[in-house]
Structure 1
């Protein structure tokens, strides 16, 4: 893939931006230059919106079955390039190749799922008080969707919006995170292999506060899909005021280990939730509440799991964790660990940047014991390979700690008592509660999102839930005489 800075895909063509700036892209693995990226101006985003607006009326008139066939062809095209995409994903994002290969496979599945579901996007007929009336509802595309996505899953998260959005008849203007924009370009190339009409999918690379801001605020876009930080989500919500919005924002657990939990199972699942993708997952197990009766035994198992992680070059076989993606997240992880230790916590595994690493972005898989509720790591999303353990003595105390947090995305509970499990399902202030499994458990068709009153976002991605959210529900009334 050689674009020489022409990294915007607008109206079916790759182009640069004479008003923008071309910068080298570096791998987090070893800081090597891996390509050139155009940091575009607002004008490039405006051009992309114009292309999407021109193309969308024709796309919405394509039959649902034909759009579904296109989505299935896209899934096949991604599968054909799975190894190529996975290698680039590892190089640019930093996750191990096995994780990258899995992610690319899920993105292909996402298009095929959209192909299946859109054919059953059925409306209703509604009984009426007036005997002369007949009322029906049906779904129509919203129009032009602005999509802004993060760097932690730079292939699959965009598909969570692009696949249902395109299947429903929308056109898309997409701004990916700058640090993973090369793999975003490769994804667009794979999609175009399926002969998607020009202008239906447009890519604009560059700074979020420039091109991202333009596509969400411009009156030429009709709706917004965003996955990312709470701070950015709040800005986008204001800038896109009045537009339908799907906002999948941050999370901070918790994972709850009850005194009757199967500790081997709980530790294995929780460690996976803490260290997969170097902990850079919004549903990561990064706030772990452990009953006092099993605290020491569980901590020992977590430390052993952390020491079993193989940290290194993610391109090499046998490596199970690579670097963090960028300097900002590496700095935050170190600050959160340092703050917890300063308040009395102990790193019983990891806790620092290793010496002799290929770049400054490698951080040891870490387990902290004795974490206090006033620690930043308990109140904020760390987004790194850190498992902080807090202690509690009763279910009521666990509920109190769980609620004392501004996030409400995903939690996990480990118990062998079915009655207790159902009580936690009812009481946990999160959109998803996983029982006896990692907090990262999710499948593409399952609704994913936060709860009201918290900062983890609005709406749902996943399966038919994203599909209906990316449509207008229209009502038609008829008079029968």
Structure 2
């Protein structure tokens, strides 16, 4: 019998007012229910927001080093549970064990990083035009932050929102994605064990239409941070800004890797394959377009097809690439594969589900050639292990094609020409730009965010910039 997990509200583990639950199945074996959570409603979200508002003043007054001590202890607790959390992540979200372990470690590192930052939060002293005045600034928390997080990085993304919010002195309401809420609940368990005061963090599971919408519109909530699809994120942005709230969104991507004439085709194919097929392509920074110079196009395609066909597909605890998270995600990927063929793209590798699995949401790493940039496969986010290869005649055309989408999250170039590398850095329309690296993978101490429809283009996440969203500046004139 699967135990039912409860919400975390005002320091207590409580059942929802709806008395309904959500079953989470193993994506590699959908008949296996691995966990059960509360299917909460608006009443539960309201209670959580009010608890966060009641706790806000005391937490804001807690010294930064003390807040940091709790974050550091929570990180240590997560480290002690790393193997358990890795297996939980694989069971609920489906990614391969090494990827899941890396994600859990990232959450640990984020908590430790922002534990140190909590003690450094302060302000600056400025020279005053008056001899009798001390002029300085101080950073204060915004208040109550609502965090709405996706299923594809179910512990890392909640961690990189939650840790800076708490470090800065905000209280939090968190709504994790229903497909894989367990790792976010584990963050609450660690913080509770570390001594986080009641009401400072509140986690409510359930549908976004009830829980997230209530958080976004709630009078007690001052800031909203959302990661997910562009379509939903833009609605959240409009909804929150209409309420006068501070908003941060990180949304979709259609990320290119530009392979120049000077690139080694096999090296470039390995970079694209890692970025496009890693995490089963279920990453907002995944490479979904390879824009390739015609002189190396054929060799690159051969090498990329070989990379795709060499990937071991299976359950995340056993294989190199796990399943997609749900039937709807798998159906969407397969639909895009059909659309690409209908539009005239050539299926060079993959394109179906593995014969050896009659259950589970598995799909083959897929490569399309003969793709033009106006095809849907080249313009729309697939969120599966599908790479479209586009041939270009020179570097200028490659840059134009790379930028010719409505997204701008991550972009990379593979080249041995330093001038091309510098031009790409200058001209690529993306918030993350990489040279001779895959589009995926982020350092935790530098800003992350996108351009165009990939972001609200307001505040960035992670690093020092990650704290800016959760703080507001006060200027003090002290005439002594």
What is the TM-score with the length of structure 1 in the denominator?
Answer: 0.95
2:390 alignment counterpart: 390
Distance 2:19 2:373 in 1: 46
What's the CA shift for 1:323?
Answer: 0.5
Structure 2 residue 332 is the aligned partner of structure 1 residue 345: no
SS in structure 2 of the partner of residue 178 of structure 1: coil
CA contact (8 A) 1:72 1:111 kept: yes
Equivalent positions of 1:236-275 (< 5 A) are 236-241=236-241, 242-275=244-277
Q: Displacement of 1:2 after TM fit?
A: 6.5
Q: Secondary structure at the match of 1:137?
A: strand
Q: Which range moves more in the overlay, 139-148 or 124-133? A: 124-133
Q: Report the Cα offset of residue 164 of structure 1.
A: 0.6
Deviates more, 1:294-303 or 1:390-399: 390-399
Partner-residue secondary structure (3-state), 2:120: coil
- Counterpart CA distance in 2 for 1:83 and 1:455 is 33
Q: How does 1:11-90 map to 2 (within 5 A)?
A: 11-31=10-30, 32-90=32-90
State the Cα distance separating 1:360 from its structure 2 match: 4.7
**Per-residue Cα deviation, 1:335-362 (whole angstroms, up to 9, x for no partner):** 2221111222122210112234152511
**Corresponding position of 2:168:** 168
For the residues of structure 2 that align with 1:290 and 1:456, how far apart are their CA atoms? 27
Alignment of 1:278-317 (within 5 A): 278-316=280-318
- 2 CA distance for matches of 1:53 and 1:3? 30
1:137-148 maps to which residues of 2 (within 5 A)?
Answer: 137-148=137-148
5 Å-filtered alignment, 1:176-255, equals: 176-241=176-241, 242-255=244-257
Provide the secondary structure at the position in 1 that maps to 2:324: coil
- The equivalent residue for 1:442 is 442
Name 1:376's counterpart in structure 2.
376
Structure 2: distance between partners of 1:135 and 1:26: 57
Deviations 1:176-226 (A, max 9, x none): 000101332233222322121111111000001110111111111110111
Q: Is the 8 A contact 1:311 1:320 kept in 2?
A: yes
Give the Cα–Cα distance (whole angstroms) in 2 for the partners of residues 76 and 116 of structure 1. Answer: 14
Across the aligned residues of Structure 1 and Structure 2, the Cα RMSD in angstroms comes to 1.6
Q: Does 1:425 align with 2:437?
A: no
Q: CA deviation at 1:127?
A: 3.7
Secondary structure of 1:472 counterpart = strand
With over 3 angstroms needed to count, the CA separation of the structure-2 counterparts of 1:378 and 1:129, relative to structure 1, is: farther
Which range moved further: 455-464 or 306-315?
A: 455-464
For 2:202, what is the secondary structure of its paired residue? strand
Gaps of 5+ in 1: none
Which of 13-22 and 134-143 deviates more?
13-22
Pairwise CA distance, 1:66: 1.0
Q: Cα gap change, 1:18/1:479 in structure 2, threshold over 3 Å: closer, same or farther? A: closer
Deviation per residue, 1:290-329 (Å, 9 max, x gap): 111111111111111111110011122xx10011001222
| Count of residue pairs brought into register by the alignment | 476
SS in 2 for 1:237: helix
Structure-1 separation of matches of 2:35 and 2:122: 45
Cα 1:202–1:358 shift into 2, 3 Å: farther
Given that residues 20 and 41 in structure 1 are in contact (C-alpha distance below 8 angstroms), is that contact kept between their aligned partners in structure 2? Answer: no
- Does the CA-based 8 Å contact 1:26-1:33 persist in structure 2? yes
Partner residue, 1:8: 7
2:265 and 2:139 map into 1 onto residues whose CA distance is 47
- 1:133-180 CA distance string (max 9 Å, x none): 542111111111100000000000000110111111111100000010
Change (3 A) 1:265 1:147: same
Measured against aligned partners, the alpha-carbon deviations of 1:5-53 in whole angstroms (never above 9, x if no partner) come to x521101111112325223221111011122222111000000011111
For 1:399, the equivalent position in structure 2 comes to 399
CA contact (8 A) 1:251 1:456 kept: no
Contact 1:30 1:358 in 2 (8 A): no
- The answer on whether the counterparts of 2:45 and 2:211 sit within 8 Å (CA) in structure 1 is yes
Q: For 2:407, what is the secondary structure of its paired residue?
A: coil
